[in-house]
Structure 1
């Protein structure tokens, strides 16, 4: 459908070197967008660039540490210079640290919260400034988690940061609407990736699966439709919205 077409749009995807970010870059490119792919691990970005361009797309690798305001300003400036106005931000960079709350060190907390919340704010703020300065409006999609909607053990910092990101999404949406900038959040449930596959197939993963009403974990492709909805004009009257993609897990206690 034309509503989901991103032809002529320039997108910035953070955390693009692996996992969801890498997949999202492919999806957006397939929908016609030119992509600035940003992360700390540039060698992985170069491989992703080759894959996208082999399929006829355009990808620009950019080194980015979302926790560093100077790095964020440089990355957004580079994307604008090389691709043109940024129409879309997929604010995806994130980390997790699995430890009991009584064993969580201050530096562990800071790394998770600084990446998942402060870093997301820095990138969203700088990209929004760019959109306001050029006057073309835009679209910000924050990649949150259902753990921002409900808590669980062993990942206190992650839960806190993602909950903060959801309310940051709402606050920015209310404030930036006057500039024709939409801000929404995608909140995935448990998605099977190379990093967590072994855990999700373990006994603990099987116990977790029993709490998912659809009785399966998500595959990366399950996020494609919701991502394109939020990224495109199909959601042009949506802002401040949280879209959960979790097989019904957030619908139950």
Structure 2
């Protein structure tokens, strides 16, 4: 009899996402800004896209028109992430219409500018639901489908520079985005064996309706506290999302990609509040 200790069997190799060429994507909050730019960029990469909207149905329809102009299919559904957990069912609805889901972009979000001592529970609950719990539940539904499909997938969570650094007056927003960043890392670990990559994109100040800069020419705006000296364009964020959603990012998971013009090197408060370029000189 062989009394030597038995060698534990090696775990089965995880399925690889390297061969995935995504054909279907769901982008939440795609009625304007980063969501719209992302949907159009993914369509240009060859994906049919499901879009969600909260208040601006017309904006979502315009996004869908831009997607179809790229020769791809587009479908829209309403999504209110304060109505959880039922709201997350929209991922399944759109996946059915698309015939599957290869990519989920959790972009829908909200925020507040309220001093910590003045926050009420309702505001905190709303921001946490929309920016953290909602993305978790949407990603869970998408990932379950990706696992059943058996070909891997991509999940990209749009966080913020405030995933990494705080801002005065944004306590629940920072808490939610920081939580979403760490959730991204846990998801990346747990879903890797199914060939699903999970990454975060952390924008700085981007010219969108949310920042009061819809249709702004960012090259004409001055931001002395940002090393690149201007706000970002939504299409610059969408380009990074599209990379992470595509086949070239097959070995990238659990990472957070700042798209901020260097703001994090300065700190978000300095990035938005410095009034001149004196910091550039010793």
Same fold by TM-score greater than 0.5:
yes
Aligned to 2:88: 72
Choose from 58, 74, 90 the match for 2:105: 90
* Structure 1 unpaired stretches of 5+: 1-5
CA contact (8 A) 2:22 2:47 kept: yes
TM-score computed with the length of structure 1 as normaliser: 0.88
Partner Cα separation in structure 2 for residue 93 and residue 60 of structure 1: 16
Q: Distance in 1 between matches of 2:66 and 2:153?
A: 27
1:55–1:135 distance in 2 versus 1, CA, 3 Å = closer
The answer as to whether partners of 1:7 and 1:32 remain within 8 angstroms in 2 is no
Distance 1:63 1:83 in 2: 16
Mapped partners of 1:7, 1:178: distance in 2:
18
How many residues are aligned here? 242
1:101 aligns with 2:116: yes
1:13 aligns with 2:39: no
Matched, 1:221 2:235: yes
Instruction: Indicate if the aligned counterparts of 1:7 and 1:31 stay in contact, CA closer than 8 A.
Output: no
Q: TM-score, normalised by structure 2?
A: 0.80
Task: Return closer, same or farther for 1:44/1:214 CA change in 2, 3 Å cut-off.
Answer: closer
Matches within 5 A, 1:16-27: 16-27=30-41
Q: Residue 198 and residue 77 in structure 1: after superposition, are their counterparts in 2 closer, same or farther (change >3 A)?
A: closer
Q: Higher Cα Rg: structure 1 or 2?
A: 2
Match of 2:142 in 1: 127
User: Does residue 53 of structure 1 match 2:68?
Assistant: yes
**How has the CA–CA distance of structure 1 residues 240 and 195 changed in structure 2, closer, same or farther, with 3 Å as cutoff?**
closer
Please list every run of at least 4 consecutive aligned residues from structure 1 whose deviation after the TM superposition is greater than 4 angstroms.
198-201
CA–CA separation in structure 2 for the residues paired with 1:54 and 1:176? 34
**1:7–1:33 CA contact under 8 A, matched in 2:** no
